[in-house]
Structure 1
Amino acid sequence: MDKDYIQIMAVYCMFVMALIVRNHAVVVDIKTKGAKGDGITDDSPAILSAWKEVCGGPPPSSLVIPPGTYMSLAIMLAGPCKGPIEINAKGATLKAPPELVKFSKDSWIYIRNVDKLTMIGGTFDGQGQQTWMGTKCDETMACPVPVNLRLSNLKNLVLKDLTSINSKNFHLALRGSDNSRLENLVINAPGNSINTDGIHIAKLNGLNITNSKIGTGDDCISFGEGSRNIHIERVSCGPGHGFSIGSLGKFPNEEPVEGIFLKNCTITGTTNGVRIKTWPNSYPGIVRDIHFEDIIMNGAQNPVLIDQEYCPNKACKKGAPSKVKLTNVSFKRIRGTSATKVAVKLVCSAQVPCENVEVADIHLTFNGGPATSECSNAKPKVVGQNVPGVC
């Protein structure tokens, strides 16, 4: 038999086999697993059954949550899986039980150990109103209550067109999920809700967040230890506590926070704007290459803030300096209105003063008139025209 013919047939067979595998990729609708979608029945067993099938099926596989309202108890969707997974929840609403006693752990929906997970659509309602009224998170700083979506070790994660509302605790907690992308998210809880950070990030390298709207009762986005190479653009924040690096230095051996770029964002009616916060009397740590650019402030308190004396609720020794070192930090083209007289406040550590802090082309007013600035243990590089004049 001709050698070229054999090679052609071999390639053809491989192509046909690839088509067969693709045609046998698993698509599972949770209603085929018994989900009622009446908003009352616990549909978590159906979701778990569907996940088990798609995770173990030939790639690429899809879990479909069709339009409807689904009640779900706490669930864990765990990998590793055989290949990429898509969760399509367009038009669907998932509701957590409102009663905190129905949760024994700190997550409602917990997804972990998956490479190339894509989540599209869906509203995740934590029904946290009872929890906010009943906990003492603001006093004890301990909140053993569930996060809406806990996402851990999901390499190459994509979240699109997803909504999270009324979480009992953080809305999204993202950890160890390198090279991920979040876009077109809506995160919403009342301004007086307790500890409802919009997105909390920790121990990951590579993340883009774009075109999203966050309003909540705590930080819109908070960056914990080990946050690296993160780009945030076109995100609106308010109500809430603004965009916050930290708090850092409370625990030993925290990983550095570095390479945070936040630009073209709008902050409205928040208790802080863009800030970096570390504990006094802290353990050593590193924060470097943090850049805030082209930010609009609409009545934000403390629009530009470095606070290395962060000590809420008398939870620390405020007399001793922070040992977290801040290097290469910039605040550029931040404009709008401040709800506090001091619009730019740079409070650095007396033991490890900030290095290479740049303030450029700031224009912030207070009550229609000039605002002021304050600095301690910081000698910022001032570029361009700044209102107020910086230190």
Structure 2
Amino acid sequence: MSYFSPILILMLVVPMMGAVSKGDGDFAPAEDIGLWTAGTDGEEGQEGDEHDELDSLPIWGSERVGRIPVNVDSFGAVGDGVADDTQAFLAAWETACSIKNAVFLVPERRHYKVNATRLRGPCEGKLLIQVSGTIVAPDEPKDWDPKNPRQWLSFSKLNGVRIQGGGIIDGSGSKWWASSCKINMTNPCRGAPTALTIDSSSGVRVKDLTIQNAQQMHFTISRSDAIRVSGLRVRAPSDSPNTDGIHISESTNVAIQNCHIGTGDDCISIVNASSIIKMKNIVCGPGHGISIGSLGKDNTTAMVTAIVLDTAILTGTTNGLRIKTWQGGSGYVKSVRFENVKMDDVQNPIIIDQFYCDSPTSCKNQTSAVKISQVLYRNISGTSRTPNAMKFACSDTVPCSNIVLNNINLERENGIVETFCNCATGFDYGFVRPAADCLRNDKTSRCDGTKNDNQSQTYDPIHTEL
């Protein structure tokens, strides 16, 4: 690979600093496709809320003018944490969904035991879902509704709905975790319910909720557009398997802001057919970091683009900023920006892994891969638990390209840190520690499917866990 001159670096960097992809080879200004352009001084821009009603909408009780309360207690909910309140919730939902300006009210200081429940729209306008109390799931997997094996509380086909209230959604997941094949390897691997799902919806705002101890994933946003999440708290033990905090799939124009996530898997995971995702002011730990992927499993095609993480703190996580893809996939990940991130004792602070393999057996080598390009890391600092502070493990046949590092300062308390590259090209500017010269001239292979004849060692990928 040719050496980048200082003039060429400036020519490439200036457009990238506030840009997202317009196509395979060029960049478009972020504002052209609705991404927010945030400064590096950490100040909150007007983008992301833009006087968003999410921030101005009062908690139910402070302003009741024009609101019609639909209290689950009025439909027979007991709220003692023992009685099954599922039917009362369904009946209250049917009423609230059919009335304009309704408030679906889950009162505070009560515990409502609810089984798998699908709450469907479309509903009349300006529906407010006020969760002030605690909603708790049955704790016995054997008693779970077989018609809903993968969902607990599911909202679908909603438009312009607000979900808020300061309450708790508790998945009672401990027995689910104990039966997981990742905890007890004699058990067959099977999926478990997601605690809260928003599906096939638009214009939904979620604010000031706690989701804890999910059976599997905590909060999934799927097949949706224009979703805003703020003030969300996710809590689960570090050894709880597959308990992603927020999982985004097949969705566009999603903003996640001011969230604290501690769990046993990815704090935030973004998968196929997702674009224009903005994350800001995220606290992550414990967990597996903030991830794009995994993508491309079972030779599938994946497309993820226009992703921004601005301002985050990751503490004690197994990964920091991660992009993970399976061999054999196709498609692309491009136009990604990670900036203003602080790491504290993170095992793999910056990692791209195109050899991801979450399987009890070895994954076979395949030539096709999800293409990864146009990834910018800027203002990343902190401590690494391992020597590999930065690792770009990319495909020999579908290399990573346009990886850019700016103002990186990663250290290790006792020992050196280094950057590892396989078939990854790009450049760095400003202060960068550890040095990333391997991005400028990767000599580990010719990156066309054949090894460099002058290279005596071959690359043996180290797979990361889910």
The TM-score normalised by the length of structure 2 is 0.76
Paired position in structure 2 for 1:241:
288
> Which residue of the other structure, out of 150, 156, 159, is the alignment partner of 1:112?
156
Deviations 1:186-235 (A, max 9, x none): 00100000110001100011011011100000000011101110100111
C-alpha displacement of 1:156: 0.6
Deviations 1:300-326 (A, max 9, x none): 011000000111234563422442111
| Structure 1 stretches of 4+ moved >4 Å | 22-25, 137-142
Alpha-carbon distance between aligned partners in 2 of 1:303 and 1:56, rounded to the nearest angstrom: 49
C-alpha displacement of 1:241: 0.5
Secondary structure of 1:206's match?
Answer: strand
Paired position in structure 2 for 1:154:
201
Note if 1:332 corresponds to 2:374: no
Q: Which runs of 5+ in 2 are unaligned?
A: 1-63, 439-466
Q: In structure 2, do the counterparts of structure 1 residues 316 and 223 end up closer, same or farther at CA, with 3 Å as the change threshold?
A: farther
Q: Which runs of 5+ in 1 are unaligned?
A: 1-21
Paired position in structure 1 for 2:141:
100
Paired position in structure 1 for 2:432:
386
- Mapping of residues 128-277 of structure 1, within 5 Å: 128-137=173-182, 142-251=189-298, 254-277=301-324
Alpha-carbon distance between aligned partners in 2 of 1:336 and 1:203, rounded to the nearest angstrom: 33
Alpha-carbon distance between aligned partners in 2 of 1:96 and 1:224, rounded to the nearest angstrom: 27
The letter of the residue matching 1:101 is K
- Mapping of residues 336-355 of structure 1, within 5 Å: 336-355=382-401
CA contact (8 A) 2:387 2:415 kept: no
Paired position in structure 2 for 1:60:
101
Q: In structure 2, do the counterparts of structure 1 residues 237 and 321 end up closer, same or farther at CA, with 3 Å as the change threshold?
A: farther
Paired position in structure 2 for 1:125:
170
CA contact (8 A) 2:199 2:223 kept: yes
C-alpha displacement of 1:250: 1.1
Secondary structure of 1:312's match?
Answer: coil
Alpha-carbon distance between aligned partners in 2 of 1:255 and 1:54, rounded to the nearest angstrom: 38
Aligned residues: 367
Alpha-carbon distance between aligned partners in 1 of 2:368 and 2:126, rounded to the nearest angstrom: 44
Q: Give me the CA root mean square deviation.
A: 1.8
C-alpha displacement of 1:362: 0.8
> Which residue of the other structure, out of 307, 310, 316, is the alignment partner of 2:356?
310
Secondary structure of 2:378's match?
Answer: strand
Deviations 1:110-160 (A, max 9, x none): 110111121102201111111111121466894321110121012011000
C-alpha displacement of 1:367: 2.0
The TM-score normalised by the length of structure 1 is 0.90
Alpha-carbon distance between aligned partners in 1 of 2:368 and 2:135, rounded to the nearest angstrom: 43
CA contact (8 A) 1:309 1:321 kept: no
Alpha-carbon distance between aligned partners in 2 of 1:62 and 1:142, rounded to the nearest angstrom: 40
Alpha-carbon distance between aligned partners in 1 of 2:302 and 2:369, rounded to the nearest angstrom: 14
Paired position in structure 1 for 2:51:
none
The letter of the residue matching 2:137 is A
Alpha-carbon distance between aligned partners in 1 of 2:267 and 2:127, rounded to the nearest angstrom: 28
Q: In structure 2, do the counterparts of structure 1 residues 50 and 197 end up closer, same or farther at CA, with 3 Å as the change threshold?
A: same
Alpha-carbon distance between aligned partners in 1 of 2:329 and 2:279, rounded to the nearest angstrom: 28
Secondary structure of 2:432's match?
Answer: coil
The letter of the residue matching 2:231 is N
Alpha-carbon distance between aligned partners in 2 of 1:102 and 1:78, rounded to the nearest angstrom: 23
Q: In structure 2, do the counterparts of structure 1 residues 79 and 251 end up closer, same or farther at CA, with 3 Å as the change threshold?
A: farther
Alpha-carbon distance between aligned partners in 2 of 1:385 and 1:25, rounded to the nearest angstrom: 55
Alpha-carbon distance between aligned partners in 1 of 2:112 and 2:268, rounded to the nearest angstrom: 28
